[in-house]
Structure 1
């Protein structure tokens, strides 16, 4: 009988299983006796409605035949005078969860010795011509646990040869010159392969009647040993597989994860995810809002929609906030997992941190923009520079000639000329670069002296921490220009005053770093990637030219520049310049 949904079947309207336990699905087959009486049923139940295939139903029927055969076998054993005490003891031993496998073997051997009235027993593992004792009732001169002897010097060779129980009621010499007067042993099969023997023996001559029910009881014990060995082997292999999987999953940069859509629970997350997000899988299960909150606000709606509508393999990128406050780019490759009904009930994926790739792409994009703007600026600067040079020359023809505003005009012309030279750096970053050994601290002090009066007026002080003092190859004027741009930006971001922190040190034994941190208004995270791009500025009337030129100079020096900021707390600019 198959009931796909009990709630829709009026016959089960008042069924206790349906009403109290919400059982929706039922598939069962009868278990018949030899007299065609119904002994019981073998069934499958589920709290959810489902269907069952013809193949599954046939397997259920085949399983009922197996159950029937087992019941008949046990019935025959009982009918053949197997004592109730032996059955009870066998069950108590094998079902005792507090006993280890070795302890159960020991008790089964004692039970067999009592049942067959034989003094000793052991369990063996036979590999080739070697007979290894796995467990014994007690170590004697005849045999010890762990001992390996030749199979030919035991009675077990006959069990291996016949693959059926063997009963010997005559004197048989052992490997240690002892004599076995009586022996009964059964084969142990593991995964349908001969594994070893479960046997009992005695070295005293006396008559014993080993009945068919005794042999069947011995087979039953040997069968349990084989089944338990199969379970232990499968458990060991599963553990090894899990360990290998975890070794792979936990030692690659990508994070592997599995999510149950129906239960809305993260089933597995490899340790690499903690490196990417700063959070463990357990934290997400404890707080079901953490996942949504950690996604960048601008990507949240898009990302959640992609996650909840996966019907084929997909790949997409999104941003999340690390616990350290940084923004990480993550690339997810996700595949759906279907249940037997063909519905997606789980998704599995691999998450990769692509922040560095995105940063490199941004660098390339900025470089391309700087090149284009630089070429445009160069053509304009050349057009301005030529008449500017002529005007400056005529103004300086007669040094002794005095006229109104001469010094002011010359000063303004000089500033225009310097501005044109700065613009030319964008197009010809290597043009006019003179790399000489210069002490960075000296250059920084010159810039600070230039801004001393302005910073005093705005109640701004400087705090300098110097962890390294050495010269590096750089262009004096260009690096001073970078410092001037950074200090000017820091001062302008602090209209209410405060302190600018400057730190100098060595990083990775190959860079000198200069970090300038202000206590200004800060910059939002989404605007940081656009810093240094042409015509982009955080100032109301800024052109972004200062940072754009600074980027080009640092790039020319094979260095790097990084920005970190928090609104209302300030911005830190970190520059790396090569030591050599």
Structure 2
């Protein structure tokens, strides 16, 4: 029929077997999709046996078989020499044998003798790659004829087999693509690998995907081809080698700027030959950079599919994007080095932040003096920046940082590593990329803590001095006549007259008020520190306000995590509690609940937190609370909170306010345990 030793036969057979084994059909279990076809063929042609055969190097293997019995059914295969379908595969045309005993090729065939095969009709199973894998055949134990119409029906059934194989091929191709893309993601997202290591692994992945032995990444400049990375150095090509572009296959990629697949012998610069080549262009900043390619000096006869080309382009695109990023990073580094000497020698801290990478690219040494932290620490912990901002300023500051579209300047507080609160003034400008999008921001940070403190001290000192002088004057002018009046009212113990008790009570209250405002004149006036139980003091204040809170439908919820006595002035601390409870009640005209919590803070302080559900205080007013003549109430004087601040300060304690309009205010007091 033909010379089975010819080169054309050997090449065709190699392509056929390559595709057959790639499809993974040999030695697989029965599949209903194929058995359904052979059962239908057996019924249509009224024959006992119908087979789907696949021809390997030495065997005829039955992917589906209807009507076989005995050992041949168990083995599901025969030797190739006895296979009828080998003639179908070799010739590529349908084969019909009406009587095997009348055909010299088959009358002595083992299968004819042992299994009484007298009739055979088989048609080739041809793939999209034009390879004949085997046949769909019908067999009878008696001679018979087959009409042209019947033969066409058998051919139609073979197309069904072909469709099932193509479906299987598509599934295999899809699975392979999914595995390749998963590996691509794992490699490119691995932060522990360098760019060169990632390239090496991508080249190995491509060799496995395309079943080609070698691959490399090149940079093409003019007529020069430079090898950037390769799977391994060989006689054909080495890393760093520069050769003429014309002596490579890459000139076609440069010319077309699209992926190229070559399946023919191409001589190289060193007289070696490439017999299979596939390469895709790499673009950097939309300019042709080089190639990402794979090749083999042995012809594989492997069909490069569309999904293969798409995967190759995906790898080339990643290389281009990564090169863009590296080039940009290199340029930025050069710019940083130029500015670093200047930035590190000024008092203000200069910094640059990459929004896309969420990475601090540069921070001058002055920032460490402001915050106690280095730029490297912020890059190692991406939550450190947010956590270092003062809680009261956090939301406002982050919002300003995340929405920068023009030059801005604002102040905020952060916590230094030594525990102190620092005021920082940031002047920030956005940096735009070529597409007009903000991708980096740069700024100058200045420590303005001393300025802020001096301003506050001067402002509060002036007010407190004035109030202290006024308080001393009031106390002097009121206390003396008040003492005289009180003395005359008590002159005769036994003498009774109308409203005596009420008048004495009011005089006593006025005297207590005078004592309170004297605190403003002299911080240490009348301070008697004795051990007092905070719970008892608080309960006494609540009993005083019990009737008013009931009238306003206000309830109290107390959570006590500690019951301790601390050194304090009984009357002064009661006054602070009274002021806080009164303010909370007055902020809740529609009623509600006041939450009071007592516990230990940092093992050094007892804290008392009073939280109401009232109207709240605007953020800009909170810093001014406790200042003279400033009140959040419409008719208030601000003296209550001012006196409370002075008392807590006198007790070496602290007082904090947090509030939200419409939701309420929380006041937290810290009093030292010792």
- Tell me the TM-score normalized by structure 1: 0.48
- CA distance 1:362–1:151, change in 2 (3 Å): same
Partner residue of 1:404? 498
Task: Give 3-state SS (helix, strand or coil) of 1:224's partner.
Answer: helix
1:465 offset after TM fit, Å?
0.8
> Where do 1:308-347 residues align within 5 Å?
317=411, 331-333=425-427
Distance 2:172 2:218 in 1: 28
Q: Is the 8 A contact 2:352 2:360 kept in 1?
A: yes
1:405 offset after TM fit, Å?
2.4
Distance 2:348 2:155 in 1: 46
1:416 offset after TM fit, Å?
0.9
Q: Is the 8 A contact 1:189 1:195 kept in 2?
A: yes
Q: Which has the larger radius of gyration?
A: 2
Query: Structure 1, residues 512-567: CA drift from partner, whole Å, max 9, x if none?
Result: 11110111122222222222222222223222111111111011111111111122
Q: Is the 8 A contact 2:263 2:277 kept in 1?
A: yes
1:450 offset after TM fit, Å?
1.2
Query: Structure 1, residues 466-518: CA drift from partner, whole Å, max 9, x if none?
Result: 12221221111100000001111111111221110001112222221111011
1:354 offset after TM fit, Å?
6.5
Distance 1:344 1:390 in 2: 76
Q: Is the 8 A contact 1:516 1:574 kept in 2?
A: yes
Q: Indicate whether 1:110 and 2:170 are aligned.
A: no
- CA distance 1:280–1:6, change in 2 (3 Å): farther
Distance 2:338 2:120 in 1: 38
Q: Is the 8 A contact 1:187 1:197 kept in 2?
A: yes
Root-mean-square deviation over aligned CA pairs: 21.3
Distance 1:446 1:474 in 2: 16
- CA distance 1:506–1:253, change in 2 (3 Å): farther
Q: Is the 8 A contact 2:129 2:303 kept in 1?
A: no
- CA distance 1:479–1:65, change in 2 (3 Å): farther
Q: Is the 8 A contact 1:435 1:475 kept in 2?
A: yes
Greater Cα shift, 91-100 or 449-458? 91-100
Distance 1:370 1:570 in 2: 28
Query: Structure 1, residues 281-314: CA drift from partner, whole Å, max 9, x if none?
Result: 9999999999999999999999999999999999
1:579 offset after TM fit, Å?
1.7
Greater Cα shift, 340-349 or 375-384? 340-349
1:91 offset after TM fit, Å?
28
Distance 1:465 1:187 in 2: 70
Q: Is the 8 A contact 1:440 1:472 kept in 2?
A: yes
Greater Cα shift, 376-385 or 305-314? 305-314
Q: Indicate whether 1:540 and 2:631 are aligned.
A: no
Q: Which one of 104, 113, 123 corresponds to residue 10 of structure 1?
A: 104
- CA distance 1:401–1:109, change in 2 (3 Å): closer
Task: Give 3-state SS (helix, strand or coil) of 1:502's partner.
Answer: strand
- CA distance 1:56–1:462, change in 2 (3 Å): farther
1:425 offset after TM fit, Å?
0.7
Query: Structure 1, residues 55-95: CA drift from partner, whole Å, max 9, x if none?
Result: 99999999999999999999999999999999999999999
Greater Cα shift, 190-199 or 332-341? 190-199
Query: Structure 1, residues 10-65: CA drift from partner, whole Å, max 9, x if none?
Result: 99999999999999999999999999999999999999999999999999999999
1:573 offset after TM fit, Å?
1.0
1:400 offset after TM fit, Å?
1.4
- CA distance 1:104–1:563, change in 2 (3 Å): closer
> Where do 1:64-463 residues align within 5 Å?
317=411, 331-333=425-427, 348-351=442-445, 358=452, 362=456, 365-463=459-557
Greater Cα shift, 533-542 or 282-291? 282-291
- CA distance 1:373–1:395, change in 2 (3 Å): same
Task: Give 3-state SS (helix, strand or coil) of 1:323's partner.
Answer: coil
Query: Structure 1, residues 99-143: CA drift from partner, whole Å, max 9, x if none?
Result: 999899999999999999999999999999999999999999999
Task: Give 3-state SS (helix, strand or coil) of 2:175's partner.
Answer: coil
1:348 offset after TM fit, Å?
3.0
Distance 1:571 1:477 in 2: 25
Query: Structure 1, residues 256-286: CA drift from partner, whole Å, max 9, x if none?
Result: 6659999999999999999999999999999
Q: Is the 8 A contact 1:130 1:148 kept in 2?
A: yes
Q: Is the 8 A contact 1:374 1:427 kept in 2?
A: yes
Q: Is the 8 A contact 1:113 1:119 kept in 2?
A: yes
1:231 offset after TM fit, Å?
13
- CA distance 1:322–1:335, change in 2 (3 Å): same
- CA distance 1:90–1:19, change in 2 (3 Å): farther
- CA distance 1:450–1:310, change in 2 (3 Å): closer
Distance 1:310 1:531 in 2: 32
Distance 2:145 2:369 in 1: 43
Q: Is the 8 A contact 1:366 1:532 kept in 2?
A: no
Greater Cα shift, 465-474 or 10-19? 10-19
Distance 1:238 1:136 in 2: 29
Distance 2:142 2:417 in 1: 40
- CA distance 1:451–1:148, change in 2 (3 Å): same
Partner residue of 1:498? 592
Q: How many matched pairs?
A: 580
Q: Is the 8 A contact 2:336 2:362 kept in 1?
A: no
Task: Give 3-state SS (helix, strand or coil) of 1:299's partner.
Answer: helix
Task: Give 3-state SS (helix, strand or coil) of 1:30's partner.
Answer: strand
Greater Cα shift, 341-350 or 102-111? 102-111
1:421 offset after TM fit, Å?
0.4
Distance 1:52 1:319 in 2: 95
1:371 offset after TM fit, Å?
3.3
In structure 2, stretches of 5+ residues that fail to align are 1-94
1:413 offset after TM fit, Å?
1.1
- Tell me the TM-score normalized by structure 2: 0.42
Task: Give 3-state SS (helix, strand or coil) of 1:505's partner.
Answer: strand
Distance 1:15 1:352 in 2: 98
Q: Is the 8 A contact 2:285 2:324 kept in 1?
A: yes
Query: Structure 1, residues 377-400: CA drift from partner, whole Å, max 9, x if none?
Result: 111111110111111111211111
Q: Is the 8 A contact 2:612 2:666 kept in 1?
A: yes
Greater Cα shift, 132-141 or 152-161? 152-161
Distance 1:548 1:176 in 2: 92
Q: Is the 8 A contact 1:112 1:218 kept in 2?
A: yes
Greater Cα shift, 82-91 or 329-338? 82-91
Q: Is the 8 A contact 1:311 1:344 kept in 2?
A: yes
In structure 1, stretches of 5+ residues that fail to align are none
Distance 2:321 2:428 in 1: 39
Q: Is the 8 A contact 2:177 2:307 kept in 1?
A: no
Greater Cα shift, 87-96 or 440-449? 87-96
Q: Is the 8 A contact 1:465 1:503 kept in 2?
A: yes
Q: Is the 8 A contact 1:463 1:502 kept in 2?
A: yes
Distance 2:112 2:435 in 1: 22
